[in-house]
Structure 1
C-alpha cells in the first residue's frame, strides 16, 4: 500500500488540516475509478491511528479501495456546541478534496464511511445525515449513544490511565448540556427513524464481548433500531475489548463488507 498526505487551509476549521490517504497497489490515476472508504478515529486518536493496525496493509493489498483517514481531535466529527465545524469539514472539504485529487468513484455508490468507537458513531451519524454522499457504514465498537449520555457513566474506569474517555465537563463542551440542539441533531435513534429513504445505507458493525457493558448495550440497541426500521445491516459480537487489537482482528470482515457493496454498486 502507498501512504500519502494531503494538506490545505480549511475554511470550516480556520487553520491548516491534513488527511492521510492510503492507496491500494492496483491504484492508477487513469482508467477505472476506485471506491473510497473514509475511516474515522476514536476518542484520543488521530489520522495515523489506523496505521497502527498490524493487518491494515494485507487488508488494503487484497482490496481495491482507497482509504482516507481524516482527524477531528476529540470533537466527534460533528458541528459541536463550541462552534467547531468538523461535520462541515468532513462532508464539504475532505470528500471534495479526495475526489479532486484522486481517481475516485465520485458518487454515493462509491463512498463508504466507518470508524472505531467515537469514529464508528460519527460514521453512522454522518451517513444518515448525508446519504447523498455515503451508501455504506462500517463501525467497530461504535459509541452511538454519546448524544444521549448524562453525567459520567464511566466514573469507575477513571483509575485506568489507558482509557481515553471524556469527563462530564469535556463531554458537554462538545455536545452541550442534556437537551441541547447539538444532542438532538445527532440522536442516533432519531436519525434512523427520520432517514431519507431516497438514500438507503447498508451498515456493518460489531462490538467486543469483553467491551464495556454500556458499549455492548448501545450496539445492541442500534441493532434493534436498525431492524425495526428495516435498514439493511450485519451485526456481530466477537471476542475482544475496546481497543485496536479488536479493531485489527476485524479488518478482513469489515473491508470485505465495504468492498462487496462499493465495488458492486
Structure 2
C-alpha cells in the first residue's frame, strides 16, 4: 500500500472523529418540582458552538400523549442537528403520559403548566447560558404538546415570545372520554366551562395582535385537522397575526419530523429580530 493511500485512509476516521466532537450535546437532567413534590427528567440539547461566554435562545419542545421527555431525541434523532443549525438550546420537558401540560383544577399533584413555564425555565436559565427573557424563548410541541405549547404560551406571555404547535388539539371538548383528559379536568358534564377555559380555543381572548409570534400546522389527514382549521379561523376573526400551514400527512412522526424544520426556522427568525 502506498503512503498516499495510507494517509487518505487514516484521514477518513479523523474527519469523522472531528465531526462527532463538534456535534450537538444531549444531556438528561433532573429537576425537582416543588409544586408537584417530585423529580422530573428533561433533555437539554446544546449546540456544538455552545460556550458560557455567550447567551443562547431556547426552544422548549414538548412531546405528545403517552410519550416522555426522550421522545424527540429517540424518535427523531435529526432534531439534535437543529440545535447546531440554529445555534440555540432545545429543551424537551417531560409532560407525563397524559398531563396535557395543564395545572389541574381537580388534582394538585398535576401542575405541569407551572412546572414547565416556571420551574423548568428557571432551572434552565440557572444552569445554562441563556437569554433570560421572552425575546430568547419559544415553545412548541406535537399533539398534546402542541396544545400545551399554545396554552402555556398564552398563559405566560411574559415568559415566551413565540409559540407553535404541530398537530395540536386546540379544543379539548370533543374528547370528553378520550386521551385521559377527564383525569386532569374532571368529567366534562360537571364543569364544561373549565374544559373550554383550558383549551386553546377558549384562550384567544387573552391575545393581543402582535403580542406573540405564532406558528402552527396540521396534516390534511390528521384527526385534529378540523379543530386546527377552526382555531385558524378564530385567530383571523380576532385579527391575531399567525402562520398556519396545512401539509399532506397524518398524526405521525414522519409528519412531525418534517414540520419541526419549518418551525425552528420560524423561531430562529424571531430570535434574530430581537437582537
Report the TM-score, using the length of structure 2 for normalisation: 0.84
Q: 1:118 to 1:150 in 2, by over 3 A?
A: closer
Task: Find the partner of 1:40 among 62, 70, 74.
Answer: 62
Are 1:110 and 1:263, in contact at CA under 8 Å, matched by a contact in 2?
Answer: no
Structure 2: 5+ residue stretches without partners = 1-23
1:225 aligns with 2:250: no
Q: 1:256 to 1:150 in 2, by over 3 A?
A: closer
Q: 1:53 to 1:150 in 2, by over 3 A?
A: closer
Which residue in the other structure is 1:79 paired with? Answer: 103
Cα deviations by residue, 1:189-232 (Å, 9 ceiling, x for unpaired)? 3311133x3981111111111212xx101000111111122222
1:201 aligns with 2:226: no
1:20 aligns with 2:34: no
Which range moved further: 35-44 or 177-186? 177-186
After TM superposition, give the deviation of residue 184 of structure 1 in Å.
4.1
Which residue in the other structure is 1:159 paired with? Answer: none
Local SS of the residue matching 1:120: helix
Which residue in the other structure is 1:113 paired with? Answer: 139
Local SS of the residue matching 1:149: helix
- Greater Rg over alpha carbons, structure: 2
CA RMSD of aligned residues (A): 1.7
- Which structure is higher in helix share? 2
Q: How does 1:55-204 map to 2 (within 5 A)?
A: 55-73=78-96, 74-80=98-104, 81-83=106-108, 84-146=110-172, 148-149=173-174, 151-152=176-177, 166=179, 170-178=180-188, 179-180=191-192, 182-195=194-207, 197=208, 200-204=211-215
After TM superposition, give the deviation of residue 100 of structure 1 in Å.
0.6
- Aligned pairs, how many? 245
Are 2:45 and 2:80, in contact at CA under 8 Å, matched by a contact in 1?
Answer: no
After TM superposition, give the deviation of residue 182 of structure 1 in Å.
4.0
Q: 1:239, 1:40 → 2: CA distance?
A: 22
Q: 1:144, 1:115 → 2: CA distance?
A: 12
Are 1:20 and 1:47, in contact at CA under 8 Å, matched by a contact in 2?
Answer: yes
Cα deviations by residue, 1:100-152 (Å, 9 ceiling, x for unpaired)? 11111100111100000000011000111110001111211011111x23544
Q: 2:167, 2:185 → 1: CA distance?
A: 20
Local SS of the residue matching 1:71: coil
Local SS of the residue matching 2:59: strand
Report the TM-score, using the length of structure 1 for normalisation: 0.87
RCO comparison, higher one (Cα < 8 Å, 6+): 1
